[in-house]
Amino acid sequence: MAPFHLFFLLSCAAALIFPSFSRSLEPSFTSKPSRSLAAAPPSPKPGPIQTNGKNFSKVCDPARFKELNLVIDDFAYCDKSLPYEVRVKDLVGRMTLTEKVAQLGDKADGVQRIGLPKYYWWSEALHGIATTGFGTHFGDIVPGATSFPTPILTAASFNESLWKTVAQAISTEGRAMYNLGHSGLTFWSPNINVVRDPRWGRALETPGEDPFMIGVYAINFVRGLQDVEQTAAQQDLTSRPLKVSGCCKHFAAYDLEKWFFEDRHKFDARVTEQDMVETFMRPFEVCVKEGDVSSVMCSFNKINGIPACADTNLMTRTFRDEYKLNGYIVSDCDSLDVIYHVMNWLGDTQEDAIGLDLNCGWGQYNIYQHWGESAVAQGKVRETDIDRALTNLYMVLMRTGFFDNIPAYENLGLADICNKENIELATEAARQGIVLLKNNNTLPLDPKKIKLAALVGPHANATAPMIGNYNGIPCRYTSPLDAIGKDVKVDYQQGCDVLCMNETAFAPAIASAKNADVTIILAGLSLDVEAEERDRMDLLLPGDQTDFINQVAAASKGPVVLVILSGGAVDITFAEINPKIGAIIWAGYPGEEGGQAIADVIFGRYNPAGKLPLTWYKNDYVDALPMTSMQLRPVDEFGYPGRTYKFFNGTVLYPFGYGLSYTVFNYSAINTTTSSLTLEVNTAEFCKPLSYMTKFTAPPCPSLNIADYKCSEEINFEVEVTNTGNMDGYHTALVYSKPPPEVANGPMKQLVAFQRVFVPAKQSAKLNFTVNACKALALVEKTAYIVFPAGKHTIVVGDGPELVSFPVEVKLQI
């Protein structure tokens, strides 16, 4: 049955049974950013848990139980001497079926009778505590939280410690807001979907297109959110404390919002197992196995006909059995499609229910809470399945200290939100991510030599656009106008807005450029063009922006600097080849302090070192293949080119990993002790065939299935990075592996490691890499086995003119 019919039936039935279903949905959240923090008013002592009008810092507070006329000692779930499993079992065991079912939605009702308060599961922390979700709210005592750059820019820093530090700052603010009764402890971040197609509207929320890099980002971000310093290495994962709980979303093969007749709610992603293993699931695997994330969220789309949220195989077999997820699985929110998915949960086969623990949705979408009880009564769902879901949920809440609090965080409060350090970190994150795309002897500018700067373009005075989506209320904004205006005298003329529908306001901007010593143009995209439920149809700047930039550049007296704000790639070939445009900077959506970071780069206080986490294709790329085609490899039958730097062999504007500096780096030859590896294969059964280029005779054992191998070999090498220029700078060395040339259908290269390093002018730094040979050299062959191919692999460091490489010969001995 089509989803529409299911929805229709459900709505009618629901209206009969639950009169309140006709109630309208709660309003969606919109942020009203304030320019500066209001002074905090003296407040009554707030607290996360309110009971009879009094505030408590934890569930298991004897005074709170007294307030409820209960005696805490009667409740084993509050006995701290017992293991969490025992406490959770006691808690769940006390509930009636009606009470259990009432806890299965993101707004869990609580059970006053047994001392369990309500809990709102939905909070978000993609790049700062967000307004999205019912768990978090701003206003009165908490006017704002630090708004870091959107992930695509922070990712561009390729700096693992930055990723973790930012998440630590976010979780500290989250915990402080929780203490003040303004946030939950469960955050549905990060978004780790692979940007498979450059048109996707949510690229800004992600770390980019490379599954390996996304995985490394996920580990650092999740650990930054979750890890309690002293217990980060704790072996018993089921009781490992959580600073806050993170969530890797949305599994899987999601990245289409709206494209012609397709939309994410009904999109059926036709995906090969090879692409699932190699690309779509890899960040999730790493996020669970190495990040120990405490939650994952399924996506709206179907995967090969099965809704992701009803895919038992994926949820139970992959996440629970194979990855060993230690946490809960939540549905995506607020969609007709969720109903349709969840209808499966209530449908003919109860197996469809296995996996999902929490239903995000409200009003008529709150299926679990409204229908769960009758589903059990009708024998469609076992009550033990509901117990299991509740156990997964309350284990996580126990670990966050919802019941007992975590002493180290009890005193966090207003002073820990929007403080100087966090605002500086937001600026630093943007500085580290900003990518220099072109510099024809133009940057950095010397402010002392500039009497007047023309500051023009849609984003010249950007505020809200700098914080993208899943945003909170920022502490404040430092717009480009604010920051650049502190360095030089500026003549600000916007010229046109992001949509740039016509040329009526161009003239003052052109006049300004004619007059000024230098012209700085801030242009690009915004949520008007790329957002959730909004894919792009092309990769060009919107409306007349290109004309605007060309006209301003043509009229400029002085050098022209173009700054692009965007999440996804933009085809700005026109600017790359325009000799009047001396420099181009990409600044993602740089967060609340973005203007400051941009000024620091333009005036040379910071030497840019970001690298593009996405391929910047030329616009004709999108005419060559539909957004609905999921394959990463080229599809010769339809003439579709490949996707991402791994499989697209055509000409691009800027490749993945591209980014310039104000100085010049060079590598000196690699030192390695690993030039060959000989693996003893115990039995030929572990060998797998591989596809080869024509005329190549396969060796007796073409490749080794790594599932059957210990994989302890390491490849160790050192590279010396020399800053041959005159300015101190940062450099990221990207390390790729290339499969043996005779192997067909493999990636052209794949990222296997990266390191960012500071190198003073005229000095060198040594980078020491150790990579696991299986992880670095393995390929996913066409039937989705992960294999270690025999032959001569290549390790390549760098992708610019400075690259160095060395071969690693792999022999498989039977």
Ligand X SMILES: *[C@@H]1O[C@H](CO)[C@@H](O)[C@H](O)[C@H]1NC(C)=O
Q: Judged by CB under 6 A, does residue 757 bind ligand X?
A: yes
**Where are the strands (E) in 63-125, listed by range?**
107-108, 119-120
Cis peptide before 190 (omega within 30 of 0): yes
Q: Which residue in the set 99, 428, 530, 592 belongs to the binding site for ligand X (CB under 6 A)? A: 428
Q: Whole-number minimum distance, CB 428 to ligand X, in Å?
A: 5
Please tell me whether residue 268 binds ligand X under the rule CB under 6 A: no
- The DSSP bridge pattern shows strands 262-263 and 258-259 to be antiparallel
Task: Give me the least distance between CB of 419 and ligand X, in Å please.
Answer: 16
Q: How far apart are CA 107 and CA 96, in angstroms?
A: 18
Q: Is 768 in the site for ligand X (CB under 6 A)?
A: yes
Instruction: Verify whether residue 332 is a known catalytic residue.
Output: yes
Please pick, from the candidates 668, 705, 794, 805, the single residue that binds ligand X as defined by CB under 6 A.
Answer: 668
Work out whether 238 is an interface residue with ligand X (CB under 6 A).
no
* Residue among 624, 678, 628 nearest 648 (CA): 624
Instruction: Give me the least distance between CB of 434 and ligand X, in Å please.
Output: 12
* Region binding ligand X by CB under 6 A among candidate stretches 217-225, 312-320, 588-596, 711-719: 711-719
- Which one of residues 238, 349, 374, 502 is an interface residue with ligand X (CB under 6 A)? 502
Which of the residues 179 through 208 are near ligand X (CB under 6 A)?
181
Contacts of 26 (CB under 8 A, 6+ apart): 134, 362, 363
Which amino acid would we find at residue 723?
A: N
- One of 3, 18, 29, 46 touching ligand X (CB under 6 A): 46
Residue 42 interacts with ligand X (CB under 6 A): yes or no: no
Closer CB to ligand X, 366 or 463, in the complex: 463
List of residues 6+ apart from 811 with CB closer than 8 A:
676, 677, 678, 679, 790
Binding residue (CB under 6 A) for ligand X from 112, 239, 461, 546: 461
Q: How many residues bind ligand X (CB under 6 A)?
A: 48
Considering only residues 557 through 586, tell me which ones interact with ligand X, judged by CB under 6 A. Answer: 577, 579
- Per-residue x/- mask for ligand X, residues 620 to 639, rule CB under 6 A? --------------x-x---
Phi, psi of 278 (to 5 degrees): -75, -35
By beta carbon distance, the residue nearest ligand X is 181
Nearer to ligand X, 159 or 631 (CB): 159
Residue numbers 481-500 binding ligand X by CB under 6 A: 481, 492, 496-497
Half-sphere exposure of 514 (CA within 13 A, CB side): 8
Considering only the stretches 40-48, 76-84, 533-541, 777-785, report the one whose residues sit in contact with ligand X under the rule CB under 6 A. 40-48
Strands 665-672 and 714-723: antiparallel
Q: Under rule CB under 6 A, which residues in 712-741 are in contact with ligand X?
A: 716, 718-720, 724, 730
Closer of 11 and 668 to ligand X (Cβ) = 668
Is residue 801 at the binding interface for ligand X, with CB under 6 A as the rule? no
From the list 781, 773, 783, the residue with the least C-alpha distance to 710 is 773
Selected binder of ligand X within 202, 459, 756, 793 (CB under 6 A): 756
Say whether residue 666 binds ligand X (CB under 6 A).
yes
Distance separating alpha carbons of residues 293 and 296, to the nearest angstrom: 8
Q: How far is the CB of 266 from ligand X (least distance, A)?
A: 30
What CA–CA distances, in Å, run from 796 to 128, 231, 766, 776?
36, 37, 16, 11
Pick the catalytic residue: 210, 227, 332, 544?
332
Tell me if 54 contacts ligand X by CB under 6 A.
yes
The residue (of 334 and 718) whose beta carbon lies closer to ligand X is 718
Mapped to the 3 state alphabet, what secondary structure does 214-250 carry? HHHHHHHHHHHHHECHHHCCCCCHHHCCECCECCEEE
User: Which conformational region is residue 202 in: left (phi greater than 0), alpha (psi within -120 to 50 degrees), or beta?
Assistant: alpha
Shortest distance (Å) from residue 571 CB to ligand X? 16
Is residue 504 part of the contact set for ligand X (CB under 6 A)?
yes
| CA angle (731 as vertex; 725, 736 as ends), nearest 5 | 125
Beta strands in 681-785 (DSSP E): 687-688, 703-705, 714-723, 729-738, 750-759, 764-772, 779-780
Element containing residue 162 per DSSP (H, E): helix 160-179
**Closest distance between ligand X and the C-beta of residue 576, in Å?**
7
Quick check: 57 binds ligand X (CB under 6 A)? no
Q: Is 463 in the site for ligand X (CB under 6 A)?
A: yes
Q: Decide if 551 contacts 510 (C-beta within 8 A).
A: yes
CA dihedral 14, 20, 25, 27 (to 10 degrees): -170
Q: How far apart are CA 649 and CA 315, in angstroms?
A: 35
Strand-strand pairing, 54-56 and 107-108: unpaired
Q: Which stretch binds ligand X (CB under 6 A): 53-61, 119-127, 171-179, 789-797?
A: 53-61
Task: Answer yes or no whether residue 379 interacts with ligand X by CB under 6 A.
Answer: no
Please say which residue, 239 or 724, places its beta carbon nearer to ligand X: 724
Q: Read off the tokens for 777.
A: 């050299």
Q: Residue 710 and residue 694: Cα distance in Å, rounded? A: 32
45 in contact with ligand X (CB under 6 A): yes
Q: Give the residue numbers marked as catalytic.
A: 332
Residues of the shown chain interacting with ligand X in the complex, contacts defined by CB under 6 A:
44-47, 50, 53-55, 159, 161-162, 165, 181, 428, 432, 440, 461, 463, 479, 481, 492, 496-497, 501-502, 504, 577, 579, 634, 636, 649, 666-669, 671, 716, 718-720, 724, 730, 756-758, 766, 768, 770
